[in-house]
Structure 1
Amino acid sequence: MHLTTLLATYLLLILPASAQFQFFEQMFGNQQGGPQSHQPQNMGSDSVWYQQQYENARCDKFLCPQTLSCVHFPHHCPCPFPAVEDKIEFGDGSMACVSKGGWAKGEAGRKVELARKGLL
């Protein structure tokens, strides 16, 4: 019983000190003589990562190729960057994401329609 009390007291003294040193190691990067430098990790220049994500995606409906979203129909796919893209749905059930154009809302859609008619 006395050994258990001694061990518990020892742990109560050692664990907070250990946690304190771990905090400082993380804060200062566990390096000697300077701040921690973070090197960016570049993605590969091929499509292997995307292909792996696509193959591992589970969808029993339609898997959107740009966003890997699972939707009922292809024209329901979201644009990957909705803040800067407008979604244009075509009558044949397909869609496209195009860069937002100009200042007027829906201007990209109007330009696509003009292009489809051969007027742009």
Structure 2
Amino acid sequence: MELLNFLLSFLLLALPATAQFQFFEHMFGGQQQQQQSPQNAGSDSAWYQQQYEAAHCDRYLCPHTLSCVHFPHHCPCPFPEVEDKVEFGDGSMACISRGGWAAGESARKVELARKGLL
């Protein structure tokens, strides 16, 4: 009976310790894995071409965001936090960096450039 109590006590102490070590091993990836640095993006356009070709769109596929819209001027800007969208009369659009200008300043500068004043 005393041996049974000893074995039971030993198991109750050993099991949580084993689980704890397994937790830390999984958390830190074990000793076999080495930490890898992220890779730089490729310098060719193969990844983008694969994404473009795999995108399904039965209307207009925006080239910058791969969004599917009805018309080209409906395309969103890829970085709306720092870009203003300017729509042109011919149904096209452009995303212009805000560059710290006041609201609407990008559209005004584009209009001045179109008139040859900038």
TM-score by structure 1 length? 0.76
What are the residue-to-residue correspondences of 1:83-94 with 2, within 5 Å? 83-94=81-92
CA distance in 2, matches of 1:64, 1:109: 21
Q: Deviations over 1:32-73 (max 9, x none)?
A: 7xxx63411222110000000000000000000000000000
Structure 1 unaligned regions, length at least 5? 1-12
Match of 1:9 in 2: none
- Distance 1:23-1:87 versus aligned 2 partners, 3 A rule: same
The structural deviation recorded for 1:21 is 4.1
Are the counterparts in 2 of residues 71 and 77 from structure 1 also a CA contact under 8 Å? yes
- How high is the sequence identity, in percent, across the aligned residues? 81
Once superposed, what is the RMSD of the aligned Cα atoms?
A: 2.3
- For the residues of structure 1 that align with 2:18 and 2:71, how far apart are their CA atoms? 56
Post-superposition offset of 1:31: 2.2
State the distance in 2 between where 1:78 and 1:59 align.
15
Matched residues, number? 104
In 1: Cα distance, 2:60 partner to 2:18 partner: 52
* CA offset digits 1:64-107 (Å, max 9, x no partner): 00000000000000000001110000000000001014441000
Tell me how far apart the structure 1 counterparts of residues 100 and 85 of structure 2 sit (CA, whole Å): 15
Deviation at 1:26, TM superposition (A): 2.4
Gaps of 5+ in 2: 1-11
- AA aligned to 2:81 is A
